[in-house]
Amino acid sequence: MSTSNASSTAPMESHPCAAQAVRMDRMYRLQRHFYDLTRKFYLLGRDDLLTKMNVQAGQTVLEVGCGTGRNLAILARRHPDVRFWGLDASTEMLKTAAATMERKKISERVVLRQALAEELDPEGLFGLARPFDTIFFSYSLSMIPTWEQAVEKAISSLAPQGHLHIVDFCDQMGLPAPLRWMIKRWLALFGVHHKPELVAALERMAGEGKCELQVKYLYGRYAFRADVSLSNARP
């Protein structure tokens, strides 16, 4: 198996945020082998996001928290004239992602790198001379303690007409209380926590004219999708 498009550097203990990357590796060292089989039952709304994402030929698309590369592989098959990039904190997950790209013969169009979300740098990490056209987070922000910095980095790494898409867990307030309690307890076992401040922060940005925002709540607020556009932002 070739992993030439994935970072070969393991998280360094001297890194100020190394603990987060180490936790991800420990959590997914075994889970990566069956992750996609189990998550399809409760990572709801991500396939709808991939279908409705407006991706044009020649554009550049990045997934932050790409995990096993499942989403990138789907997009790469659908859009053969688009280049894709994936960023993840876990070197273990990136091993599976690299193998997936090799198996599907799309590794030349999908570049993978190991880093934390708040370390996103199109030029420094990926050697790109210009920002990304589209960046998306699929059920990853709820696992990122420093989600504010992750979102800020993503927006600053977008082209002036760029788009940011987020699908993630919500507060489940439309579901029965016992089910809601069970879901939250289950997710907490994996370090997953709904971030109610996230949508509020995006709404403030939209109110300040920094972006256009559409938020859709899914399946009794089990999840939400946020679509951020910089195309009509005020200078």
- Token pair for 191: 């370090």
Using CA atoms, how far residue 127 sits from 9, 29, 41, in Å, is 17, 28, 36
Q: Residue 15: pLDDT band by 50, 70, 90 thresholds?
A: very low
pLDDT in tens, 74-102: 999 999 999 999 999 988 889 999 999 99
Residue 214: Cβ-neighbour burial (10 angstroms; 0-12, 13-18, 19+): exposed
Q: Where are the domains positioned within the chain?
A: 18-229
pLDDT in tens, 128-179: 999 999 999 999 999 898 999 999 999 999 999 999 999 999 999 999 999 9
**Topology (CATH) of 18-229:** Rossmann fold (3.40.50)
